[in-house]
Structure 1
Amino acid sequence: MNRQAQAVVLLLVGGAVLRTSLTDMYLRYVKQGLRPFLIAAGLLLVIAAVMTLWYEFRGSAKAAHDHGDHDGHGHGHRGPWVAWLLILPVFALLLVSPPALGSYAASRSGTALQQVSDFPPLPPGDPAKISVLDYASRAVFDEGRSIGDRKVRLTGFVVTGADGRSYLARMILTCCAADARPVKVALAGQVPTGLKSDSWIEVTGRYVPKSIKDEINGERIPYLDVAEYHEVAAPNEQYES
């Protein structure tokens, strides 16, 4: 692989990063706050590739003018052929649109919550619309005191446990999909029936002082007493953080 080919590969990689970061596709790989860094990285790769090609073609044209092509010199430095493997992730980004992690990953990982001590008031509205992570944290670490008797509305996907119990879950990110972990809420009351795993639903209910242990890591999973639910389309940002 000569220097021109290396620059073309670099251009393809940068273009693929830009295409991903300028659409909602990037949300399947990293958290929302990292978008500016992805765009900057893609631009830098494209600029570096364009500048490399410009210098290479200018140098080749000058060499041909000064010395001619008969002496066989002027070939670019060749790098290892293994560099062509960089094209594979480029094709993956351009041609394949993988789904966000869902029930398969959630059912094989224990629920993940980090200790929280400060719980601000719930947002206004009846019901209060909060995240699955927020509800689970308030239910486990605050014993529901910051929720009280208010109705809450959560959105997530359905996970069916090995015991047949239904959970509402969301995957949370620290940085990217590689460190995604599930947060689960067990459902009581008007439990959704007839829904397949990975179905996205919006549930409205109240806190109940009841929880179970996750069968995978033994962590507490709080319950939500469901009053009503309905199916919804999967959101663009399927991860929480």
Structure 2
Amino acid sequence: MISEARSVLLLLFGGALLRISLSDVYLRYVKAGVRPLLIAAGAILVVIALVTLFRELFQPRTHDHDHDEGDAHGHKHGGGVVAWLLVLPVLAIFLIGPPALGSYAAGRTGTAVAAKSQYPPLPAGNPVPVTLLDYASRAIWDQGLSLNSRHLLLTGFASPRPGGGFYLTRMVITCCAADALPIKIEMRGNVPDGLSANTWLNVVGTYVPGTDVDPLNRQPIPFVSVASAKRIAAPEEVYE
């Protein structure tokens, strides 16, 4: 029984990998470039599970005499039940897919700041799309020199600011959600009324000198003056 449970568990786990990697669900957990590896890993696990399960169910087994004798003396083996219970967490992946990280995670982690060696002029366009990481980097380390006099289009979700107001936030990952860190930009100006946490926004705004301080890690948080903000659905790639 334990062998069958192990095979079924492996089959479900491989199936779960294929399910999330063949849809956009995997983007909640890893970067887009990891998709081929997830598909390959899921397919390999499914094949191994099917081969193992076939052998367990249809090929004759060699019974261990000592094991059978032990059973004849009344020994009970409960490992099979425990093994089947391991299937439950995998079933949860099929039935309840954990959402992408949002304002809850951002509110418990200090803002990330990253400096570049150089800050070239922004591309043409009005407004010009800029990632939150690029905006924060230019605003903090370049003192906004490459942002001045430009209208900028920023996309992120609202996360509550301690003391009132909201940050425009985006989680940044290196490879997966386990290493995610938030980029926070304090919104000032024409911030929408009735805003709630995790509301995704397209914000058109301009650079504002100065910074706030994140109370969680004492790192600087730049400002943006909001000219207009539009509520949007969460993008397919929620992480930067």
- Common fold: TM-score over 0.5: yes
Equivalent residue, structure 1, for 2:127:
127
Q: Which amino acid aligns with 1:127?
A: P
* CA distance in structure 2 between the aligned counterparts of 1:151 and 1:106, rounded to whole angstroms: 26
Equivalent residue, structure 2, for 1:204:
204
Equivalent residue, structure 1, for 2:182:
182
8 A Cα contact 2:15 2:46, kept in partner: yes
SS at structure 1 position matched to 2:218: coil
Question: How many corresponding residue pairs?
Answer: 228
Equivalent residue, structure 1, for 2:219:
219
* CA distance in structure 2 between the aligned counterparts of 1:121 and 1:157, rounded to whole angstroms: 26
TM-score, scaled to structure 1: 0.86
Residue 127 of structure 1: CA displacement? 0.7
Q: Which amino acid aligns with 2:159?
A: V
Equivalent residue, structure 1, for 2:21:
21
Closer/same/farther in 2, CA of residues 112 and 85 from structure 1, 3 Å limit: farther
Equivalent residue, structure 1, for 2:95:
95
Residue 107 of structure 1 pairs with residue 107 of structure 2: yes
1:83-130 superposed Cα distances (whole Å, 9 cap, x missing partner): 434312211110002221111221222111223223344233211111
8 A Cα contact 2:156 2:200, kept in partner: yes
1:161-210 superposed Cα distances (whole Å, 9 cap, x missing partner): 12102210011112222222111001122122221111111111111222
Equivalent residue, structure 1, for 2:72:
none
Closer/same/farther in 2, CA of residues 168 and 122 from structure 1, 3 Å limit: same
Residue 195 of structure 1 pairs with residue 208 of structure 2: no
Gaps of 5+ in 1: 65-71, 73-77
**Identity of paired residues, percent?**
52
SS at structure 2 position matched to 1:209: strand
8 A Cα contact 1:153 1:204, kept in partner: yes
TM-score, scaled to structure 2: 0.86
* CA distance in structure 1 between the aligned counterparts of 2:207 and 2:182, rounded to whole angstroms: 20
Q: Which amino acid aligns with 1:202?
A: N
8 A Cα contact 1:20 1:93, kept in partner: no
Q: Please give the root-mean-square deviation of Cα atoms over the aligned residues, in Å.
A: 2.4
SS at structure 1 position matched to 2:17: helix
Q: Which amino acid aligns with 2:115?
A: Q
Residue 211 of structure 1: CA displacement? 0.8
* CA distance in structure 1 between the aligned counterparts of 2:48 and 2:213, rounded to whole angstroms: 52
* CA distance in structure 1 between the aligned counterparts of 2:52 and 2:120, rounded to whole angstroms: 53
Q: Which amino acid aligns with 1:219?
A: Q
Equivalent residue, structure 2, for 1:171:
171
